[in-house]
Amino acid sequence: MESIQQIKNRIDSIIGTRQITQSMRLVSTVRLRAARDRMVANETFNRETARLVQEAAREPDAFDHPYVRGGMGGNATALPKCVIVVGSDRGLCGGYNINVCKEAGALMRALGQFKLITVGQKIRDYFAQPGRNMGTNETIKSFTGISETPFFEDAEEIANTALALFNGGEVDEIFLIHTRFINMLTLVPARTLLLPFGKQSQALPSDGADRGSDNPDRVSGMRALTNYEPGCAAFLSHSVPFYMAAVIFGSILESSVCEQCSRTMSMDTAVKNADEMIETLTLRYNKERQNAITTELADIIGGMRALELKLGRGVASGKGGP
């Protein structure tokens, strides 16, 4: 059984931990607001960029473009796929990283052969463990230090790395896996096929099925009348690298919001658990302290009674007089 001092030490330790988690919760709340503002400000740009490129890919003279039909390496059926996984650089954010890793793992098992690009130190470390890369598959490049405050230049570097594999005939499809923000309590790992356009099931590769209302084509059934000069094929060749960077940048921004949201909720839970533990230990401390006081009083009263009895016997026997 723990002593009173040991219980008091545990209470002090938990109080210190609570102060840390409370501070992290406040910091994450501020960062969440900033990250969400960046995500919302980027949504219109990202949506319009995707719409413009997607419409060009549906034009008849673009059907034979490698970015639409795929298979730049010739024997497309034997080529591996490129998988970009977006996570965080830091932990203490609940199941945020493990959920996106599980989603990536499920896709990788379905693909069989793939080349991996990771964003975030936690994602890199997860797939660096033995058996996580599923045998002969390899990690092409890892990007760290950009998950919380991403810049468009970071997304461009990631997009150029993936496109180099696609243009060089090393892969024939590019997948993006990140976490989609629905609300503070709902963060959903999502996968998106970025290239080729001809195999995409969604009209807007940057948006999931839950955001179908964002697609103007689905709502109205109409498309904007756009002329592409010198042609759709040339337009795709020049615009797809920028489009890829825009989609990846939007995904990293959204993942950053999810990371801060998950960390805020985790720290909030940690603070509440610390409060419960402090309350329980304080009650236990008070009981043990009361028991100790009661025991001391019982010893004192017992000693006094014994002394009184001893003095009483001495007086009765005549030994207590002068």
User: Strands 138-143, 114-119: parallel, antiparallel or unpaired by DSSP?
Assistant: parallel
Give the span between the Cα atoms of 187 and 192, in whole angstroms: 16
Per-residue pLDDT, averaged over 54-58, amounts to 85
Angle 119-123-129 from CA coordinates, rounded to 5°: 135
User: 219: pLDDT confidence band, cut at 50, 70 and 90?
Assistant: very low
User: What is the structure's pLDDT at 143?
Assistant: 94
User: 15: pLDDT confidence band, cut at 50, 70 and 90?
Assistant: very high
Torsion angle, CA of 97/27/187/274, rounded to 10 degrees?
80
Between 164 and 202, residue with greater pLDDT: 164
Give the span between the Cα atoms of 32 and 260, in whole angstroms: 5
Give the span between the Cα atoms of 76 and 86, in whole angstroms: 26
Give the span between the Cα atoms of 150 and 185, in whole angstroms: 23
Kindly report the pTM of this predicted structure. Answer: 0.80
User: What is the structure's pLDDT at 198?
Assistant: 80
Tokens for 120?
């975030």
Three-class secondary structure assignment of the chain? CCCHHHHHHHHHHHHHHHHHHHHHHHHHHHHHHHHHHHHHHHHHHHHHHHHHHHHHHCCHHHCCCHHHHCCCCCCHHHCCEEEEEECCCCCCCCCHHHHHHHHHHHHHHHHCCEEEEEECHHHHHHHHCCCCCCCCCEEEEEECCCCCCCCHHHHHHHHHHHHHHHHCCCCCCEEEEEEEEEECCEEEEEEEEEECHHHCCCCCCCCCHHHHHHCHHHHHCCCCCCCCCCCHHHHHHHHHHHHHHHHHHHHHHHHHHHHHHHHHHHHHHHHHHHHHHHHHHHHHHHHHHHHHHHHHHHHHHHHHHHHHHHHHHHHHCCCCCC
Per-residue pLDDT, averaged over 62-74, amounts to 74
User: What is the structure's pLDDT at 211?
Assistant: 39
> If 0-12 CB within 10 Å is exposed, 13-18 middle and 19+ buried, where does residue 231 land?
middle
Residues in CB range of 234: below 8 A, 6 or more apart: 228
Tokens for 153?
């230049």
74-78, 183-187, 309-313, range with the lowest pLDDT: 74-78
83-127 residue pLDDT tens: 999 999 998 898 999 999 999 999 988 888 889 999 999 999 999
Which residue in this structure is represented by tokens 């009361």?
A: 290
Look at residues 58, 1, 8, 5 and name the one whose alpha carbon lies nearest to residue 281.
8
User: What is the structure's pLDDT at 223?
Assistant: 58
User: What is the structure's pLDDT at 137?
Assistant: 67
Tokens for 156?
């461009």
Inform me whether the pLDDT recorded for 230 exceeds 90.
no
Give the span between the Cα atoms of 41 and 128, in whole angstroms: 35
User: What is the structure's pLDDT at 218?
Assistant: 41
Q: Please, what sign has the CA dihedral across residues 255, 261, 264, 268?
A: negative
In Å, the largest CA–CA distance within the chain is 130
Burial 291-308 (b: 16+ CB within 10 A, else e): eeeeeeeeeeeeeeeeee
Q: Provide the mean pLDDT of the chain.
A: 84
Tokens for 268?
């909030």
User: What is the structure's pLDDT at 297?
Assistant: 87
